[in-house]
Amino acid sequence: MSGIAWLQKTDPPEALPPTARALREPNGLLAVGGALTPDWLTYAYRHGVFPWYSAEQPILWWAPDPRAVLLPAEFRISRSLARSIRNRGYVTRIDTAFNSVVEACAGPRRGGAGTWITDEMREAYVELHRRGLAHSIEVWHEDRLVGGLYGVAMGRVFFGESMFTRERDASKVALARLTQECLRLDVVLIDCQLPSPHLASLGSRDLVRGEFEEQLAALVDAEPRLWRQ
């Protein structure tokens, strides 16, 4: 990590280096340290950077190449997912249980492993939610929260952060609702951060970092529209 920028909490967000300095291995690691204040987070997202680290680590900032993105109109609804949407009695809502969604995303996963969402990170995104920048998509079944996702909306971009599921296809149902909302709001780019076969099966595509940042610069400052429940 000798080439990585080490940042202080007192540094301004502009201390984040250009993404061209990100490492190839591990892919996209850009800087260590800094803070998770709203100013830091909004500056980072605006420039194609996001935080991702575990409880045992300092804050790590990433700008991977390539970048996984989903265009809302390209989301793939499989036959099994369509059946779940029709037949499982799921109800989707927006921003009615943001804190609970983040808590669920931070909880243990299969195999007993925890996630990278620390207490510090939870507090940071709850504050972004209070400011109208972070949103949750929730999936309810018989008044129980069974799935969902959360992320940050800026201009015509939604930066996805994490999702969870407790019943079959519930997280995919949340993603389907997110794509519908993005189409309504003229949000044209969903940032999925790191490529994966699972995301690709849902319709994501990979963009080289430069192309992602060009699209981001053209979209992130657009006038936002109101999210709804």
**How do residues 110-162 score in pLDDT, each as one tens digit?**
544 446 788 899 999 999 999 999 999 999 999 999 999 999 999 999 999 99
Residues of the chain with confidence (pLDDT) below 50: 1-2, 111-114
Residues 27 and 79 in one domain: no
Burial (0-12, 13-18, 19+ Cβ within 10 Å), 14: exposed
- Separation in Å, CA 107 to CA 110, 113, 121, 130, 227: 10, 9, 13, 22, 26
pLDDT of residue 115: 60
- Residue 48 belongs to what domain range? 5-64
Distance CA 137, CA 177 (A): 7
Residues 97 and 179 in one domain: yes
Residues 76 and 53 in one domain: no
Q: pTM (2 decimals)? A: 0.94
Any domain includes 204: yes
**Domain end point (choices 28, 47, 64):** 64
Q: Which two tokens stand for residue 188?
A: 């044209």
Distance CA 39, CA 83 (A): 42
pLDDT of residue 229: 57
**Domain end point (choices 21, 37, 64):** 64
pLDDT of residue 110: 54
Residues 39 and 102 in one domain: no
Overall domain count for the chain? 2
Distance CA 149, CA 175 (A): 7
Nearest to 28 by CA among 12, 40, 17: 17
Instruction: Report whether 114 contacts 108 (CB < 8 A).
Output: yes
Residues 38 and 74 in one domain: no
Nearest to 42 by CA among 225, 220, 228, 226: 220
